Chain A
């Protein structure tokens, strides 16, 4: 079962990480892989920390990704990237959207939001590769911050063995019909960005 690709998707409730996980799973499925995912509903919509997993491979039964077993940590928010960092393998890749979403004032009374330097240093202590993706910035340039996730998926696709056409098909099937064109554009922008910035 170690032949599976393990992806942990994290973010803040309302950022759309559930849909992103679905798109990854759909693309993997279209590419002929066996797929398992897990996500948490309910409270997650209320701005809380959100964690989901996507696994695909030849024969995947369980959606569970143990700590230290994720190949890729796909984080839509920086603080959440740190929170789930230890799910990543020692030689894993942290793909982090360059966005800070402040937790509530009450939470910040318990601990401050770590500064960028601390975040990057900590990420590097675990991950072999860290890529901070300017996804929010790219999405804003495209005119809609809601496209951030799709930009991140584009960047993610640079590191996965799933054909570009399958990604496009998965996006087309799963995003609201009116937004397909923009999402495909955002996906390609993310991919291009990652191709330009990734050393791997």
Chain B
């Protein structure tokens, strides 16, 4: 029968080689790129395999088996050998009985690791044999031979692969399993009890006998490939493959055993060679040893970091690009695509809550390390397996009480079994108070869903006892052990918050299966109700890949969403993107200062917003379909009583809560509390001190940047000051909230118009970034017959409001017509009413289509303002250049326009005239962007930006109405906050490049 040839990965081939060598026991702990070795080995029924709790245990089990007389293999990733280093070094002295092979899969380039240590040094340091295969066939053959070498020389053998070798596939010719009879067990204390007296003898033997013998053996594992040119290469492992591809005509010495090195053979190989280069990945392990033999190898420029490639090898040797390789084409800037927590992942819920709580998070190794990435940004440290608990315990020894109240350790289930348990014992024993959150997703997810002591299954899929986390923690003596559902954000918040305030150690188990493994769907898919979505982007703070921004709008990707409800719980249909659920909870607990601080994370002007916001937060169901009103009523009857909506005693007015907290903040905080802890050198100019510009200033200053705001008018505030009439917003409140910004160290320069007093180019020169937030301050002009020669009685809405708000005298006639349907129109109407006029608002669409804030329209009606809907002016009538009337026409809905709204069209022959003394045109505002001409910044009516506010020129940003045109104070605030993040990212990238 001819031998069978199959396509196999290096890892599968190692398993096959071990199996053919008659291995009896296989142990390991999952870790990329080693995991598949043991998975493949476990499929052979003859081999007793186990996922051990960690690599140290795995190696010790394997050593025990080998001493007992059965061939054994232990597999791990490179950093796993650090964990197993203790037994590894000792068994090196002891030697083996039956063959013992340790596989270390290194990860140059760190595809899935925290470092790229070079484990060839482990073999040299421990004085054991080291084999490095280059192909899957060699993976099998070397593993097979490693057992024989182990037994013949009484040494453990380290088989070292790298990611490319482990995960590369190639053809492998299979052999049969060799049944090796068990070697008899012999008690041999001189070998197997590592007393100093024994060790001294063993070490001597190793140096004088084992290694010299192995050095001879190493010659058998070297191969020479004769080439035609004068380049001679010494190499091994994956580097051999790159060398072959890069220099097909070179003469190559390929080493198979790289500890000990076949020194005599290397010397012979180098004799008479003109150019000798050593090609190896990571450390100059071979280079230094070859040079120590007195061989002068050529100085090449292989970096000690990163994975090699054919190109890098070729470049290092030739120091120039090979002519055969076409020069790379320049690519446009591409968004990166790093790995990300899956849509619906349970970890996201926990990290979101930790971010809400502003926790200091000592993290650990696993999928959940991705919680460290923006936007969750909810991990402070991650060092090595199991370190989260012990590091947190150490931090707590130094931290202040305030810091300790924010400190948590976060660890995965498998990692906890691996090495978290001793740390937890340490915390308890030594009087620590650390809060430990175990993210229990019922599997070892990162490495591809391996079983572990909590899953109830062995590596072979057989039933196993469950080492239950809760009982384990309780058994140790932890009093506070609680379970949370990571899909119930508020409940998780409450449990973690409570634990943080406790002065005792506690364990919280976040319990839910990995969604990638279970592939479950929770319920009805989530979709965005665009009539409600405020585009506050609060949901994007979850960093869920199913939440996308398309053309500036939030969309849920139906292919990815599994209806986990996280985003639905986060959405509060808040214009400013405030974390309303957390604010309400804190107010309910009467922690007003905390609540105020949470408010300020999204809105620097809560007292203003609490008065002028159109409060979409009072929708019964939020924009993602969550019954928020019902939930608030159920959770907080106390708040509903205190802050009920006028006319709706059972309905909570969130805006009233915000106003209460805003006023509380004015009373209790000066603003200096929010000054940055650390100054950054970068200077940022912001043009326009309206809600968007000031919001950007606030959040940039919070991050430590030096911020200067330029304001054209005499005082900051923009539309908050000059647009919204005093009867809606007491300007003293505004002043007090702006005072906070001064106290934080923000500079506001008033009466400075960019383009007139200071050129835009100057700002670009002097500042590291410029944010344009000039708002829509110029009136939209209406082409209306008869207006050109009118001198009296014709006003524009924004001008009118500005003059009223400045306290300037404004005269209107007895009969006032306001044209328009937005907030400016309603404010004008109500202001004119207060000046004693009879006011009628003419709007070309229906009442339902009016974009102004509903409450304000209702107030206007109550105040006696008249409304004429579906009516449009056609001509202003004037006598002696003074307005005396208005000719209007009735309108009806016409065809659909591109936004899906019906464009109003005139009803034929429906013209009519009314006597009018003053016409206020409030049909909208536009931005005055003349100062941007010739700057290269692209704009039409608005500045063209990305959804974050980056304009077409690097370093130039825009927010508020001039970029987004939402038209409310609170939404402008949200865009300011967003732009602050974009500026920060930009400056960070710029800094990194520098």
Contacts and interface: CB of A to CB of B under 8 A. Distances in A.
A66 B169 CA distance: 17
Interface stretch (B58-66, B84-92, B282-290, B309-317): B309-317
A47 B516 CA distance: 11
A65 B241 CA distance: 10
Contacts of A110: 333, 335-336, 985, 989
Given A29-B7, A85-B329, A89-B326, A41 B167 contact: yes
A111 B335 contact: yes
In this complex, the member of B33, B328, B547, B982 whose beta carbon has the largest number of chain A beta carbons within 10 angstroms is B328
Given A42-B33, A106-B374, A125-B329, A63 B339 contact: no
A66 B309 CA distance: 7
A147 B365 CA distance: 34
B475 interface: no
Interface in B284-322: 309-311, 314
A118 B332 contact: yes
A104 interface: yes
Interface majority SS (helix, strand, loop, mixed), chain A: mixed
In this complex, the member of B329, B367, B543 whose beta carbon has the largest number of chain A beta carbons within 10 angstroms is B329
Given A63-B169, A114-B332, A109 B948 contact: yes
A186 interface: no
Interface string A59-73: 011111111110000
A60 B7 CA distance: 12
B340 A39 contact: no
Contacts of B337: 12, 47-49, 79-80, 83, 103-104, 107
B375 interface: yes
A46 interface: yes
B331 A82 contact: yes
Interface residues of B, number: 68
A198 interface: no
B674 to A, nearest CB: 24
Interface in A143-162: 145
Contacts of B169: 22, 25, 35-39, 63
Contacts of A200: none
B870 to A, nearest CB: 41
Given A25-B169, A41-B448, A112-B335, A61 B244 contact: yes
A34 interface: yes
B335 A61 contact: no
B311 A67 contact: yes
B390 interface: no
B952 to A, nearest CB: 11
A42 B112 contact: yes
A41 B338 contact: no
Interface in B58-112: 111-112
Contacts of A111: 332-336
A86 B328 contact: yes
A86 B557 CA distance: 31
Contacts of A1: 244-245, 248
A66 B321 CA distance: 12
B341 A46 contact: yes
A150 B114 CA distance: 35
B379 to A, nearest CB: 15
B329 A66 contact: no
Given A25-B7, A106-B373, A110-B335, A38 B168 contact: yes
A83 B557 CA distance: 23
A106 B170 contact: no
A189 B254 CA distance: 46
Contacts of A22: 7, 169
Nearest to A50: B337
Contacts of A118: 332
A122 B329 contact: yes
Contacts of A44: 339
A76 B876 CA distance: 62
Interface in B24-45: 32-33, 35-36
B452 interface: no
Given A38-B168, A41-B112, 13 more contacts: A1-B248, A29-B7, A34-B171, A40-B163, A41-B35, A42-B112, A45-B448, A62-B242, A63-B168, A64-B242, A64-B245, A90-B326, A108-B947
What 6 A-B pairs have minimum CB-CB distances, sorted nearest first? Answer: A42-B112, A66-B310, A42-B32, A62-B241, A46-B339, A48-B339
Interface of B: 7, 32-33, 35-36, 111-112, 134-135, 163-164, 167-171, 241-242, 244-246, 248, 309-311, 314, 324-326, 328-329, 331-342, 367, 370, 373-375, 446-448, 516, 540, 543, 545, 547-550, 557, 559, 946-948, 981-982, 985, 989
Interface of A: 1-2, 12-13, 22, 25-26, 29, 34-49, 60-69, 79-80, 82-83, 85-86, 89-90, 102-114, 118, 122, 125-126, 145
6 contacts: A29-B171, A38-B167, A49-B338, A61-B135, A109-B948, A114-B334
